[in-house]
Amino acid sequence: MREYRGNASTAFQLESRPKKADQRERQPRKPGFPVGEKLLYLFSVVICVALALLVLSRYAAATELSMKLSKVEQEASQSQETIQELESQQKELKSGERIRRYAEDRGMVLQEKNSLGPSSSVESSR
């Protein structure tokens, strides 16, 4: 056969491509997981997600209750402090010395214990 040098008028025989021996033969494709197994995996994932959501929602509820409890405890301690302050003020206001000073400031005079009260002086004047 003549040598082909780009001349279109020259005829040449097409070489058939030999099969590559090193190329792997096509093996039939292995199918993926069967449908039943895919559904099993899907349901197991759905169940896991549902359980995770349940746990997280319970945790959130517990945290919320804990915050409310701490707030109530704080309010109770503030109320207890207020009660103690009011009780100390009450004791101070009930003291005899304070009442005596208040009466003297308003113009009342302390009577002696041996003197007769106003009701006995009315009887003696009769």
Asked whether the beta carbons of 1 and 13 are under 8 A apart, the reply is yes
Q: Does residue 49 fall inside a structural domain?
A: yes
What confidence score (pLDDT) does residue 8 get?
65
Phi, psi of 105 (to 5 degrees): -65, -30
Average pLDDT over the chain reads 82
What confidence score (pLDDT) does residue 10 get?
64
Q: Does residue 111 fall inside a structural domain?
A: no
If one compares 111 and 78, the residue with the highest pLDDT of the two is: 78
For the chain, the straight-line distance linking the first and the last C-alpha, in angstroms and rounded, comes to 173
Kindly tell me if the per-residue pLDDT of 77 is higher than 80: yes
What confidence score (pLDDT) does residue 31 get?
75
Q: Does residue 126 fall inside a structural domain?
A: no
Question: Within a 10 A sphere around the Cβ of 99, how many other Cβ atoms?
Answer: 11
- Total number of domains constituting the chain: 1
Least confident of 24-28, 58-62, 97-101: 24-28
Mean of pLDDT values over 36-56: 97
Q: Does residue 29 fall inside a structural domain?
A: no
Q: Does residue 83 fall inside a structural domain?
A: yes
CB burial of 15-39 (b: ≥16 within 10 Å; e: otherwise) equals eeeeeeeeeeeeeeeeeeeeeeeee
List pLDDT tens digits, range 102-119. Answer: 888 888 887 777 655 565
Asked whether the beta carbons of 86 and 76 are under 8 A apart, the reply is no
Amino acid at 70: S
| Domain with 95 in it | 35-103
Q: Does residue 2 fall inside a structural domain?
A: no
What confidence score (pLDDT) does residue 126 get?
47
Least confident of 10-14, 42-46, 64-68: 10-14
Mean of pLDDT values over 31-38: 88
Query: What is the rounded CA–CA span in Å between residue 5 and residue 81?
Result: 110
Query: What is the rounded CA–CA span in Å between residue 126 and residue 124?
Result: 5
pTM: 0.47
Q: DSSP per residue over 36-55, as a string?
A: HHHHHHHHHHHHHHHHHHHH
